[in-house]
Amino acid sequence: MDEAIEQEKMEYIKKQIEMIEGIKKVTDLRGRRHGLKACIDIKICVDPFISVYMGHNIGEKAENLILSQIKNAKEVMVHIDPCDTKNCKGSCKE
């Protein structure tokens, strides 16, 4: 049976991820436990003019941070969006 990861833990992780250089905003973060394993989905916004390579590296930093904070994480799905009015509604940090 699935259950959500503690809200306080998810808020802490979100704040840590938003401090990663290159991440302008976390637009969604969801975590669930299935038995002993955890699955996390995150959507981040980055500068729309960086390379795919740079965006991938930023995503890996977010993934590694999550893996270091969530015990028994088996899957972390990082979705990277360009920071624009559609994805961030103009509220991204500079």
What pLDDT, on the 0 to 100 scale, is given for residue 91? 64
What is the model's pTM? Answer: 0.87
pLDDT per residue as tens digits for the range 10-22: 999 999 999 999 9
**Closest among 23, 27, 30 to 7, alpha carbons compared:** 30
pLDDT per residue as tens digits for the range 34-62: 888 999 999 999 999 999 999 999 999 99
Q: Please state, in angstroms and rounded to a whole number, the distance separating the CA atoms of residues 94 and 83.
A: 10
Question: Residue 89: pLDDT above 70?
Answer: no
Domains of the chain (ranges plus CATH)?
Answer: 2-82 (3.30.70.1350)
Three-class secondary structure of residue 59 per DSSP: helix
Range list of β-strands (E), 1-94: 2-4, 23-34, 37-46, 73-82
Read off the amino acid at residue 18: E
Read off the amino acid at residue 11: E
Q: Please state, in angstroms and rounded to a whole number, the distance separating the CA atoms of residues 79 and 83.
A: 12
What pLDDT, on the 0 to 100 scale, is given for residue 1? 62
Average pLDDT over residues 23-33: 94
